[in-house]
Chain A
Amino acid sequence: GNSVTQMEGPVTLSEEAFLTINCTYTATGYPSLFWYVQYPGEGLQLLLKATKADDKGSNKGFEATYRKETTSFHLEKGSVQVSDSAVYFCARSMNYGGSQGNLIFGKGTKLSVKP
């Protein structure tokens, strides 16, 4: 089937710590992979994406690499800030190729960064 599994939270880190949030997906077809972030009281914002194997998405110091061999798309950041506190969702597209790309979301990981 189609699913996304990401590490359970909450994750609490001190400022400037290294962040990893694990995400794996089921390998049905060749999905596009996304990380979205949701700040309190807001909708989801695209953080980064990768559309094929070995692609690396990056934005605002966050990175994730599309690993087909391990069906993973782990999110990393070298030095987190208090402003990174939010809920992070890993997602994969449902369909392959040019058809409509509906999203399957992981359960979300809440990150809290302390000063």
Chain B
Amino acid sequence: DTEVTQTPKHLVMGMTNKKSLKCEQHMGHRAMYWYKQKAKKPPELMFVYSYEKLSINESVPSRFSPECPNSSLLNLHLHALQPEDSALYLCASSQQGSDQPQHFGDGTRLSIL
């Protein structure tokens, strides 16, 4: 069982749709992350939140919009996505500090039609 919960597990959407991915953790972690993972590739960092503030945006297109409503929740709002955005989207959380491991959810598998 993962301690980071992501919903939905699967999402199929058209290029004109608006949807949101959700992530929740109750481990008291103050850093939260969004990653994109294509098949047979490592995760690619998209965003980092530290104490509910966006600290890193890895030049992600504006059609992806992150939000951190509180210390336990992280959302990723999607709008006008492209077929190449189809991927597994992983959320992770960690304590502060470079020696702290990240805890991953099982991801949302997103397909863009």
Contact = CB atoms under 8 A, between A and B. Distances in A.
A53 interface: no
Interface size class of B (residues with CB under 8 A): 20 to 34
B61 interface: no
Interface in A1-59: 31-32, 34, 36, 41-46, 49, 51
B84 interface: no
Interface size class of A (residues with CB under 8 A): 20 to 34
A46 B42 contact: no
A89 B42 contact: yes
Interface stretch (B64-72, B73-81, B91-99): B91-99
Q: Is the interface of A mostly helix, strand, loop or mixed?
A: loop
B40 A108 contact: yes
B48 A100 contact: yes
Given A100-B48, A100-B50, A44 B104 contact: yes
Contacts of A41: 106
Given A107-B41, A108-B40, A108-B41, A101 B99 contact: yes
Given A46-B101, A98-B97, A100-B56, 11 more contacts: A34-B101, A43-B104, A43-B106, A49-B101, A97-B98, A99-B97, A100-B48, A100-B96, A102-B33, A106-B42, A107-B42
